[in-house]
Structures are given as structure tokens and as C-alpha cells.
Structure 1
Amino acid sequence: MSSPISGIVAWAVIGYLAVGLAGWLWVVRGTDADRFDNQMGRLVIHMGLWCIVALLMYRCASTPTIDDPANQLALGCVLMTTTHLYSIGRLVSADPEPDIVWRNQRNAGLVALAATASIVLTAASTRYSGRTVDLRRTGDALGIGCAFAVPLTYNTFVFARSCLGAVRDIDTPRAARIVSFGMIGTTAVIWGAQALSLSQLATGWPDGPQLSLVPAAFTLFVATGSTLLAVPLVAELVLRAGMDRATRTCRRLLPLWRDLTAAVPEIVMPADARHGSDPATRLLRMTVEIRDAMLHLGAYLPAEADETQRDTVPEPEWNRGITDYAHRLSRAAQARKAGLPPAGTGAPPPLPLGAHDFDAELALLIDLARIWPQAKAAVE
């Protein structure tokens, strides 16, 4: 076999990566995300394309040695992949302007191209002299090894350092921490393979014309990295499908919000064009508007719940207060929409139970929204 990776595994990894790249391309082209996310998405797509080319070059190799031109070009593609890791690391660490990001990427790419040319020319010169190109203690092997190892080590070090910084940052979300840990681990695999290759170059151990660890480690890196990068992709797809927690909560609150803001339309805040599609912002605005509407309707609340209507919506004892309040609030909304004068009972607390933080208040509003359709039907 010309490759240490079987054809089934290699083609499966290539197909897996291609599907992930298609998802990233769809997300990046159709997103209104900010500048950072768009740059990150473009770098990931470009890096993935280079990964596919590298894996295809390894499949085209006729021998597992570095004497094969396909393996030499594959090393160049691996270096181009690491240049994008370098740019991602710089983007995460410094968040530079777009022109700086792509200038850094261009410079790193030129270095990778120069290193690839050095590998190809050194191998061609060695073959022209009638010698075999392999990883032994020779000047040719030293030149090829340094041309590959130096930029690869530097690029992956910058990337791993940025991942470590993200792990240490207390504000980093849990999912991002998992991705960062995983990327550090897969980068360490590449370092291990490179260390063994350099050990063979320096000491001759282990014996053999060439180690096959680089393509194997790179394939493992691609498979693991594709899985880790699928985490934010899946999160974005869930967000677009409206299945995230904030969007689901907004849907549960929508009937309550719609009826209360119809009674008190002046409290509805104008939508922010920059954050109008952000589910978390939408949920916060909806919660604030429901609370403001209830405060405005406080003067219209009946003094007591109607006992007859109480019994139409049987509730456990612990939820009786919410049920009664839902009936009274529904009457208050109808009274204000009809232009009736306030009931004159003052403005009681917006909910019968205390809510000391946003999560507690949101839980109470969800309970109120759950009861609201029955309470509304009971007073109509």
C-alpha cells in the first residue's frame, strides 16, 4: 500500500470534511454574523479545502516515501493548512482588522510556498544526482526536514497558544472550551509525529526509509478537527431552525406577549436592526415588555379573582396564585383595550410571587404563559 491509511478510512474522512465544509459555506454566505465570525468562517473553509487537497495528494502517491512527488506536494498542502491555523490563532488572540488578517495569511502562505518549493527542488536535485530521497542523516534530508518542520511547528504553536488562552478565559463558553481542548490535543498529535520524524532524521531510529506517521497524524487531525468544528456549525444550524432554548422560550411567551402588548401598545420598544435576529436579545426584550405591560395593567386588575372562573381551570394549590392572577390580568387587558376606566385598585406587584433575578422571573412568566390561553378563554 502507498499510504498507511486505508482507502475506506481516507475517503470517509474526505467525505466527512466535504459535508462539514458545505455546511460552513452555507452558514457563512447566508449569515448576518459580525466581522469576527465571518472571518473565522472563511478561514475555516479555506483550511478545509487545503485539507482535502492534501488528503487527495496522499491518495495519489505511488509509494509511501518522500521520494514520491505526490508526497512532497502533500507536505506543502499540510503546510498551507497550518498557515490557516496560524491566522485563526492570530484572529482569536488579537481580533485584528480584516485587511490585517488576510495580510498575515498571505505572508504565511508565501512562507509555506517557499518551503514547499524547497522540498520539491531538494528532492529533484537528489534524484538528479542518482541518490534516493529518504529521512536519513544526510544534508538533503536535513534540508527537507527543516523546510517542513520549522513553519509547521511555528504555525501550530501560535494556534495552540490561542486555544490555551481561550481555555483560561473565564468568559469562554463551555462549548468553546471543549473545542479548544480538542484542538490542542489534535495539534499535539501532529507534534508527536513530527518529533518521531526528527528523531529518525537525527538518530536513525526507528529504522526504515521513511516514517508514515505524518499522513496518519494529519488524517487523524482532519477527522478530529472536522468533528470539533461541527460543534459551532450544529449550534448555528439549531439556531437557524429555531430550536435553541431562547427561541423556544420566545414561542412559549408569544401568546401572552401579543395579548398584553395589544392592550398596552405604547410600551413596545422599536426593534434594533443590529440585534433583531438575536434570540437572546429578543427574549430579553419580550420579557421586559411583558413586565412593563403588567405594570401598566395593574390599575385595571379586579380586586379579587372570580371564584366561578377559578374552578374552570383546576390547578394544584402551589399554582393557584398564578392561575388567579392570569384571570385577573386577562380581564385587565380586555378592559384597557375596550377603553374602560381603571378599576382603582392601585398597581399591585406584576406577579403574585417574588422573583429576585431574571431566571426566576422568566420561570414565572413561562408558568403564566402556560395558563394564559385557558384563562383568556375563561373570561371571554
Structure 2
Amino acid sequence: MNSVPVAPVVVIVGFVAAITIGRWFLVDETLSDRLINRALAWDLVGLLVFICVGRLGRAHLALDLFTIFGALAVANVFGFARLLDGTDARTAARRQRTYDGIAAAAGCVVLVGMLAGREDWGPTVWSLTAVPTAWSGLLMTRACVRELRTAETPVKERLTYGALLFVAVYAVVSTVVSLVRTANGTRPDEPGLIWAIGTYATLVLLTALIAIPLWNALLARAELDRAGHCCRRLRPLWQALTDAVPEVVLAPPSSGSASLLYRMTVEIRDALVQLRPYAPDVEAHTDIREYARCIAWAVQAKAAGGPPVRASGRATAFALRDRADELRHLLDLAAEWPRARALAHASLEAPAR
């Protein structure tokens, strides 16, 4: 790798490090997420050690250390490839412990070889890791082709699977080429400029694909995605109704703007049902402005401690077909809410003036 300029390598490593750190904090919910994160972390540490030690002129030591961390990364990549290919997720954790154990054993062999002064053990173990690497590439290739052949796969997912397919095919081809070069006497850490650039370019593409869930998580945290935008529009209405009817408040969602949006719509719907007895003429209004005023009056009446004037009933006088229709209705109600609440306050204070 010494033939590759230092500056681009530093930029690439920094990019991978930023994505890795971000995913550890924001994208760590499923086993697939954790396997990707662990593979990225081991690969990043191995790459940093390899570059730093290699620049000190210790090429054999750099390769041995990279092999130790690389074996652990390959174990997690293989586990992810098995999941992507459709293996039973219920036994994935147990299988992963086996893969990790084999990788740790391979690392111990390299370490013993380092202590014993055997410089050939590291390259031998590195060559052996090519088997699960190529196998992982084949599994991911098969999974990507299967998804791309499915007519129901959305366009965005097709693009993602297409890019992942390229990475998987490159992994298989580069592994085979590397093994052939090693068998002909070329050191594994000297792949040549073309293959070195291809490896780094593929690493950038793979990291960019892995960064997509991180980008989505950041948008969700900032409420800049579609669900988050709806949450922001609903929040004033949701806050007023849940303050008036606190018993409808559910446990906070685990994470994600989509979960929060679902929770907010359920709580608003339940609060509207609870407030209906305080607005006896609510079903007489099919205009959203008048309906919002009725709900605002009901909130005022309940806050003032007044008794309900009729039995409870359904949440709205509007005919709603599905959840999407309900969300549009609640967004329309939220848009009218500030004006309706201001009118209710003004009517309440008018006699005092």
C-alpha cells in the first residue's frame, strides 16, 4: 500500500471513522446493524495500525497486526452476509459466536507466530481469510441478484442493491486475484497501484452505502424526514390535547420519528374521544375550522373543571378511510389549531372586559 499517496488515504480513513462512530451511536438496533458496526470498527483499527506501522518500516509486523484485526472484521462480514442471504435469524447470534471464536483463534496463531519470529504465519493466515471473504461476496451477490429480480423492489432499493452487488463482485474478484498474486510470490501488502486504488474506492462506496441508515437516523433525530415534519406540524395540537387529557399519554417510543408519529396520532385520537363529551355539537360540524373551534372549546371547558355534557363517542365527525387519511385529517386540524385556540381564549376573556 506504500504506492498509494498518503493524503487520499487519510481522507478515506477519516470518512470511514466518521461513519463508524456515527453508526455506533445512532444505528445499533438490529443484529445486522451491530455486525456491520463491528466489522467497520475492526477494519478501521486494522487499517490504522497497518498504515502507521507500515510507515515506520515494519512491513511484516504491519501485515501481521492487520491480519489479526482483519480476521475479526471478516467474521462479522460473513455473519452479515449469511443474514442478508436469508439464513435463520433466530440462531444467528449463536453462529456469530462461533465465527468470532474462529477469528480470535486465527489471531492468536498470528500472535504466536510474531512472538516466535515466524514471519510466514501472518501471510498464511491472511490467505486463509480469503475463503470466508470470497464466500461472503458470493452470498451477498446471490442476495442482491435475488432482490434485483423481484419486481416489487423499489427503485431506491434497487440502486442500493446494485451498488452492493458491485462491491460483492469486486470482493470475490479481488480476493481471487490477490491469492493468485500471493501464490506467485507477491506480498499481500503490495497489491499494486491499480488494485490498491480499487480497494480504497470500493471501501468508500461500501462505507457510503452503510452510511445511508446513519443519514436517515440523523434526519429522524432532527425531525427533517417526512415523519419528523409531520411530528413538528402536529406537536402544538398534540401538546395541548395531551395536557388536557394526560391519561392518554403512552410510553415514549424506543427511537425514530416514525414511531413518534404513530404515538402522537394515537394519543391525539384518544384525546379527541375523551374531549368529545365536553363539546356537544362537535358532530354537527364537518368543516375543519368549526371542528377545531369545538375541540378548542372542549379543552377550555375541561381545563375549567366543567362536567361533561354528554356520553363519550367517536373521535370525529369526518369519514376517514385509513391511517393515511387520518393523518391528513389531523394535519389539517393542527393547521387550524392556533387560530381556533386563540378564538377560544378570546371568547373566554371577553365577558371579563
Cα deviation, 1:84-138, whole Å, max 9, x if unaligned, reads 322333465444465652442131343366589899x99967xxxxxxxxxxxxx
The alpha-carbon distance between structure 1 residues 264 and 241, as it changes in their structure 2 partners (threshold 3 A), is: closer
What is the letter of the counterpart of residue 5 of structure 1? V
Question: CA–CA distance in 1 between the matches of 2:239 and 2:113?
Answer: 68
| Unaligned segments of structure 2, at least 5 residues | 346-353
C-alpha distance 185-123 of structure 1, shift in aligned 2 (>3 A) = farther
Worse-superposed segment, 341-350 or 46-55: 341-350
In the alignment, what sits opposite 1:285? 263
Q: What's the TM-score once normalised by structure 2's chain length?
A: 0.72
**AA at the equivalent of 2:292:** A
Deviation (angstroms), 1:211: 4.6
Q: How far apart are 1:80 and its partner, in Å? A: 4.9
The one of 304, 326, 330 aligned to 1:338:
304
**In the alignment, structure 1 residue 104 sits paired with structure 2 residue 99:** yes
1:269-284 correspondence runs (5 A): 269-271=249-251, 275-284=253-262
**1:367 corresponds to:** 332
Is 1:355 the counterpart of 2:350 in the alignment?
no
Aligned counterparts, 1:224-373, within 5 A? 224-266=205-247, 268-271=248-251, 275-301=253-279, 303=281, 321-342=287-308, 347=313, 350-352=316-318, 354-373=319-338
8 Å Cα contact 1:263/1:336 also seen in 2? yes
1:281 alignment partner, SS class: helix
- 8 Å contact kept, 1:80–1:109: yes
- How far residue 281 of structure 1 moved from its aligned partner, in angstroms, is 2.9
* Contact 2:278–2:309 (8 Å) recurs in 1: yes
Per the TM alignment, residue 11 of structure 1 is displaced from its structure 2 partner at its CA by 2.1
Relative to the length of structure 1, the TM-score reads 0.68
Q: Is the 8 A contact 1:175 1:231 kept in 2?
A: no
State the aligned residue count: 334
Match of 2:18?
19
Q: 1:198 to 1:261 in 2, by over 3 A?
A: closer
Residue identity in the other structure for 1:337: A
Partner of 2:8: 9
Whether the 8 Å CA contact 2:279–2:295 is kept in 1: the answer is: yes
Alpha-carbon displacement from aligned partner over 1:321-356 (angstroms, at most 9, x marks no partner): 21121112212222233344555599576043x321
The reply to whether residue 377 of structure 1 matches residue 331 of structure 2 is no
Which protein shows a greater Rg?
1
> What does the per-residue CA deviation read over 1:128-153, in whole Å, with 9 as the maximum and x for residues that have no partner?
xxxxxxxxxxxxxxx99986555314
**Identical counterparts, % of pairs:** 24
State the one-letter code of the partner of 1:87. G
Counterpart of 1:84 in structure 2 is: 76
Shift in CA distance, 59/74, structure 1 to aligned 2, threshold 3 Å: farther
> Are 2:60 and 1:69 equivalent residues in the alignment?
yes
**Which amino acid is the alignment partner of residue 295 of structure 1?**
V
Conserved in 2, the CA contact under 8 Å of 1:294 and 1:329?
yes
**Conserved? CA contact 2:144–2:164, under 8 Å:** no
Deviations 1:175-226 (A, max 9, x none): 777555433322322332334445667899xxxx975555333322322222
Distance 1:51 1:236, change over 3 A: farther
Q: Distance in 2 between matches of 1:6 and 1:347?
A: 72
Pairing 1:190–2:185 present: no
Given the alignment of the two structures, is residue 157 of structure 1 paired with residue 173 of structure 2, yes or no?
A: no
Preserved contact between residue 112 and residue 151 of structure 1 (Cα < 8 Å): no
Secondary structure at the residue paired with 1:350? coil
Q: Which amino acid aligns with 2:201?
A: L
Q: How does 1:35-74 map to 2 (within 5 A)?
A: 37-38=33-34, 40-56=36-52, 69=60, 72-73=63-64
CA contact (8 A) 1:246 1:280 kept: yes
Instruction: Give the 3 Å change call, closer, same or farther, for CA 271–163 of structure 1 in structure 2.
Output: farther
User: Distance between the aligned counterparts of 1:47 and 1:144, measured in 2?
Assistant: 16
- Cα distance in 2 for partners of 1:104, 1:7 equals 33
Give the superposed CA RMSD.
4.5
Shift of 1:303: 3.6
Deviates more, 1:170-179 or 1:212-221: 170-179
Structure 1, unpaired ranges of 5+? 63-67, 126-142, 311-319
1:271 maps to a residue whose letter is A
Q: C-alpha distance in 2, partners of 1:271/1:346?
A: 24
Q: Cα distance, 1:372 vs. partner?
A: 0.2
CA contact (8 A) 1:87 1:104 kept: yes
> Could you say which residue in structure 2 is the equivalent of 1:140?
none
Q: Deviations over 1:283-331 (max 9, x none)?
A: 222212222222333344354899xxx9xxxxxxxxx921121112212
